């Protein structure tokens, strides 16, 4: 989005005090995007994967990361078993959309998102990426601008 358009959206949308009645940044997440633990790879496994090699050319630090493995994020390790099983069942049957420019081609709402209350049903267990997404950031304002007709100005009371 151009900076002019972003400035316009800041002007014309209500001031964001919190996320009540919004939730539009969850509309295309599909499922909670945890960083999972990953077993270390060998150098020959890495070299045999053309996609990884292309990524490593852009960021050589990735090679060391793959060789060392990844412990995964703390919120994944703290996830209750029932939620972990629900997550796994969804991911096992997940099909990657054919992403285009139009958000209609993206993933649908996160499986933890309650469209009626506009809230995360497992907020205390949400992954790091959701915790890091800042209210009022440029990305937040872009989504709010795109979904300006879907943001409720009279949201249901928090539960």
* Residues contributing to the site for ligand SF4 (CB under 6 A): 16, 19, 22-26, 29, 32, 110, 112-113, 120, 126, 130, 133, 135, 140, 143-144
Beta carbon nearer to ligand SF4, 66 or 130: 130
| 51 vs 92 by CB, closer to ligand SF4 | 92
- Spatial contact of 84 and 36, defined as CB atoms under 8 Å apart: no
Note the maximum CA span of the chain. 57
Q: How far is the CB of 60 from ligand SF4 (least distance, A)?
A: 31
Q: Are 41 and 66 in contact (CB under 8 A)?
A: yes
Residue with tokens 């994967």: 49
Return the number of the residue (6 or 16) whose C-beta is nearest ligand SF4.
16
- CB neighbour list of residue 26: distance below 8 Å, 6 or more residues apart: 109, 110, 112, 113, 120, 130
- Rounded to a whole number of angstroms, the minimum distance from the CB of residue 108 to ligand SF4 is 11
Q: Which is nearer to ligand SF4, 65 or 109 (CB)?
A: 109
Please, what is the minimum distance in Å from the beta carbon of residue 54 to ligand SF4? Answer: 28
Closest CA to 133 of 152, 149, 110, 153: 110
| Residue with smaller CB distance to ligand SF4, 32 or 41 | 32
CB of 73 to ligand SF4, least distance (A): 13
Q: How far apart are CA 30 and CA 15, in angstroms?
A: 27
Smallest separation (angstroms) from ligand SF4 to the CB of 114: 8
CA dist., res. 152 & res. 136, Å (int): 16
């Amino acid at each position: 989005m151009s900076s002019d358009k972003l400035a316009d959206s800041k002007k014309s949308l209500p001031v964001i005090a919190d996320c009540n009645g919004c939730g539009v940044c969850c509309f295309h997440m599909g499922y909670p995007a945890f960083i999972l633990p990953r077993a270390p790879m060998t150098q020959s496994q890495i070299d045999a994967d053309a996609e990884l090699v292309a990524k490593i050319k852009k960021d050589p630090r990735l090679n060391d990361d793959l060789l060392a493995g990844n412990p995964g994020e703390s919120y994944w390790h703290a996830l209750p078993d029932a939620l972990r099983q629900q997550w796994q069942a969804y991911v096992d049957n997940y099909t990657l959309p054919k992403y285009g420019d139009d958000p209609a081609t993206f993933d649908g709402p996160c499986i933890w998102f309650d469209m009626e209350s506009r809230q995360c049903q497992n907020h205390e267990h949400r992954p790091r990426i959701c915790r890091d997404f800042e209210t009022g950031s440029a990305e937040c304002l872009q989504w709010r601008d795109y979904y300006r007709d879907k943001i409720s100005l009279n949201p249901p009371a928090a539960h």
